[in-house]
Amino acid sequence: MAITWIFEHEGERSFVQRQDGLDQITVRTWSNLDQDAMIVRTNLEAVQLVQALEQELESRGWALVECCPERRQGGERRIAPPRSGPDRRRHGL
């Protein structure tokens, strides 16, 4: 299944898509002006590439408007009330 991130800036859209294959991961980018594809071998490389593309787009004024398919299912699972005391996982802060 491909995952697609959609960015928007001044009415224009730009797309970043990750497609996992058997032995490689293809990251495609396209807009109304340009298109490109990059192939990486590991999940870490794919994550780093997508993050770098996202940071580059955001630094140029683009905003993430959609990610599809939406992978979350069901409703909100967090049912506990917010903690009133300090977070015990953050010692010394």
Residue pair 87/34 in contact (Cβ under 8 Å)? The answer is no
- Angstrom distance (rounded) from CA 48 to CA 46: 5
Specify the number of domains making up the chain: 1
3-state SS, residue 8: strand
Identify whether 53 is part of a domain.
yes
- Angstrom distance (rounded) from CA 47 to CA 53: 10
pLDDT at residue 66, as a whole number: 92
Identify whether 74 is part of a domain.
no
Which residues are paired to 76 by β-bridges? Answer: none
Identify whether 81 is part of a domain.
no
Of 16, 32, 31, whose CA–CA distance to 64 is shortest?
Answer: 16
3-state SS, residue 28: strand
Identify whether 79 is part of a domain.
no
What CATH number is attached to the domain comprising 7? 2.20.140
Instruction: Note the pLDDT tens digit of each residue in 7-57.
Output: 999 999 999 999 999 999 999 999 988 999 999 999 999 999 999 999 999
Identify whether 87 is part of a domain.
no
Q: Give the structural domain span for 13.
A: 3-68
